Structure 1
Amino acid sequence: MTKVAKQREPESWINRIELTIALVLQVGILIVTVGALVERQWLGAFSGSIVLLLTFAPALIERHLRVPLPVELTLITSVFLYASFALGEARDFYEKIWWWDLALHGVAALTIGIIGFLSIYVFYMTHRIQIAAGWIATITFALAVSLGTIWEIFEFLMDWNFGLNMQKSGLVDTMTDLMINAAGAAIAAVIGYFYVHGNDGLYGRRIIRAVIDRQAKT
């Protein structure tokens, strides 16, 4: 067995474990959605269906747009959506745990920022673009903040049109979420900046190497 094969064999097991965890979380979302449907909670069932579909977004993007994505993205997406819907909404964690909403927004901003960084870094490493580390960090920050802002607009539209309470305390909740989003985006940008200069971090290096390898095969 070659050295490369020995290195990738553990990675394949890690990927299988990550996909298994993601599948378990998807099943959990499905169970909550079916439960809402049985109890005739139509809005909850509809929301659950949308959330369940979103867990498959990375796979759909990869298949139809032929964009290689790390397995970790599927896992992170499933974890976030499960925590947001199955725990936050269905189990009332948003009401029971005061910091639940803030934590999810922070993790989401950090995750989106890292994903944005990975997307840019793949093109940077394959020499498809020439860009300074500062610009990579800037684009990473802007992407995460923009998507976080779009989510806040979505919450407002849902509250306005369907009488929901996604914004909780209104302006205070929105501004707090935006600040948390900005903080998470800034952390992701800083991580990306120093990664470009230092190129260290074992787990991050494994993810990026996997993405670059899959990009080379397409």
Structure 2
Amino acid sequence: MTSKMDKYEKRKKIIFYIVLTLLVISLIYSVIMFILAPSGVATIQGERVKSDYVLMVLQCLVGTIVIFLPKEVENRFQIHIPNGIEIMYFIFLFCAIYLGEVRDFYYRIPYWDVILHGFSAMMLGALGFTLVDYLNDTEKLNLKLSPFFVSFFAFCFSITAGVVWEIYEFLADGFLGTNMQKFITAKGEVLIGRAALGDTMKDIIVDTLGTLVIVIIGYITLRKRQENHKKEKNASS
């Protein structure tokens, strides 16, 4: 069991350093390209202007900071985050920032944004389960939370994280002139009314559906574990 944990720990560290290195290199690259890129609106398809590199710099900078978040949470709150969830987190940053923003997968790969939102929703839902289940099993707190409440917490945790991300996108678009919420089409058309809300609402809906999937699975798993625990307790008595 220990050797298996050590193997996951090594894999986690390797993935961490690979993703961190790519983010740092991409940050340096995007700063240089921001200086060299033309201002204004792109005149040909695929051309990147200063506003595009502002977004890339922002995303890479945020990525190089939040990649340390799991370790900081573990150290500050003395909570163990499973290596599997941390690995998923690092892979998500790689897919969302390096592939999505730097390598332009958001435009090259159909539904790349939808896939990432579904993936992140399930990852955050699993993290919510892990956190509250850890607190539930801590003897010092003496908590005995039902599977429904644990599932409800995980659902709220994941959805709240998704909403905070949309607020971050909205603020970035407003203050930095980026297009994270895709209210400007690839042809430069500025969307208005209901059409302008399309990307944001799609992201929230995908977050909700992805969270529901992991919450239902988690609830069933906790119910079965609780029932098995009761059977073992009755059998021992």
Matched, 1:188 2:202: no
Deviation digits for residues 160-208 of structure 1 (CA, Å, limit 9, x no counterpart): 22111101143011111111000111112112111212249xxxxxxxx
Which shows bigger deviation, 71-80 or 165-174? Answer: 71-80
Residue 214 of structure 1 corresponds to: none
Normalising by structure 2, we get a TM-score of: 0.76
In the aligned structure 2, how far is the partner of 1:153 from the partner of 1:53? 18
Q: Which of 158, 174, 181 lines up with 2:200 in the alignment? A: 174
Residue 98 of structure 1 corresponds to: 110
In the aligned structure 2, how far is the partner of 1:27 from the partner of 1:108? 22
Alignment of 1:196-211 (within 5 A): 196-199=222-225
Matched, 1:107 2:101: no
- Label 1:198 to 1:19 Cα distance change in 2 as closer, same or farther (>3 A): farther
Query: Which amino acid counterpart does residue 15 of structure 2 have in structure 1?
Result: I
Which shows bigger deviation, 191-200 or 155-164? Answer: 191-200
Query: Which amino acid counterpart does residue 164 of structure 2 have in structure 1?
Result: I
Query: Which amino acid counterpart does residue 167 of structure 2 have in structure 1?
Result: I
Aligned-residue offset at 1:46:
4.1
Q: Which of 179, 201, 216 lines up with 1:165 in the alignment? A: 179
- Please, which runs of 5 or more residues in structure 2 have no aligned partner? 36-52, 184-195, 227-237
Question: More helix by proportion, 1 or 2?
Answer: 1
Residue 216 of structure 1 corresponds to: none
The question of whether the paired residues in 2 share the 8 Å contact of 1:56 and 1:74 is answered with no
Q: Which of 137, 150, 153 lines up with 1:136 in the alignment? A: 150
If you compute each CA radius of gyration, which structure gives the higher value, 1 or 2? 2
The question of whether the paired residues in 2 share the 8 Å contact of 1:29 and 1:86 is answered with yes
Aligned-residue offset at 1:38:
3.0
- Number of equivalenced pairs: 194
Q: CA RMSD in A?
A: 1.9
Residue 75 of structure 2 corresponds to: 63
Residue 15 of structure 1 corresponds to: 9
Deviation digits for residues 71-111 of structure 1 (CA, Å, limit 9, x no counterpart): 23332222111111111111111111121101111111111
Alignment of 1:37-76 (within 5 A): 37-40=31-34, 43=54, 44-76=56-88
Normalising by structure 1, we get a TM-score of: 0.82
Deviation digits for residues 35-85 of structure 1 (CA, Å, limit 9, x no counterpart): 123334562334312211110111112123322222233322221111111
In the aligned structure 2, how far is the partner of 1:101 from the partner of 1:57? 23
In the aligned structure 2, how far is the partner of 1:26 from the partner of 1:196? 35
In the aligned structure 2, how far is the partner of 1:153 from the partner of 1:37? 24
Deviation digits for residues 123-159 of structure 1 (CA, Å, limit 9, x no counterpart): 2233531111111111111111111111111111111
In the aligned structure 2, how far is the partner of 1:47 from the partner of 1:102? 18
In the aligned structure 1, how far is the partner of 2:10 from the partner of 2:225? 26
